[in-house]
Amino acid sequence: MEIGVLEQQVLLAVMALHPDGYGVSIQDHIEKRTKKTPSIGSIYAALDRLEEKGFVKSRAGEKTAERGGRRKLHFIVTATGERALRESLAAISSLQRGLRWKEAFQIVEEAFA
């Protein structure tokens, strides 16, 4: 099953924050590392897709006054999710390796031109 870029970032954040990853902490984590801030809505849309695919599981957390008495929704990555993430990252790193080879060939070609 395919994973989008945001889904990848969300999965990595959920894994890093295990087992307390929730909307705000996931957003902060992604912002700190990528210098881009996905909206809360897009994070939840991604989490919804991931949960539908069986890559993450959610559990209701505690209510706090800071949140206007609303519950947090904590997420954890499932074994299937971890495997899908590994495959997806491996595919990207494989593509990167391909790029390096292309560059190397270009350098060699330029040297012999």
Partner 1 sequence: MTKKEDADKQVWRHVDLVYGIRQVRPLVEADLGSGSWEAADIKHVDGLIRTLVEINEVIANMPTVKSVAEPPRWAEGLIVLFGGSGKRAEAVQGDLCERFTRDCATMTVDRARWLYRARVLRSLLPLVKRTIARAVKLTAIISAAKRFIIG
Of 25 and 78, the one with the shorter C-beta distance to partner 1 is 25
Segment near partner 1 (CB under 8 A); pick from 7-15, 42-50, 80-88, 92-100: 42-50
Least distance to partner 1, CB of residue 31, Å: 12
Interface characters, 8-37, with partner 1 (x: CB under 8 A): ------------x-xxx--x----------
Least distance to partner 1, CB of residue 46, Å: 8
Of 60 and 99, the one with the shorter C-beta distance to partner 1 is 60
C-alpha 60: how far from chain center:
21
Beta-carbon neighbour count of residue 107 at 10 Å? 10
Tokens encoding 36: 């881009």
Scanning the structure block, which residue is given the tokens 């993430």? 85
Tell me if 16 sits within 8 A of 34, measured CB to CB.
no
Least distance to partner 1, CB of residue 98, Å: 32
Q: No. of H helices and E strands in the chain?
A: 4, 2
52's enclosing H/E stretch is helix 40-53
Considering just the CA atoms, what is the radius of gyration of the chain in Å? 19
Query: Can you give the binding site for partner 1, defined by CB under 8 A?
Result: 20, 22-24, 27, 39-42, 44-45, 48-49, 58, 60, 62, 64-68, 70-73
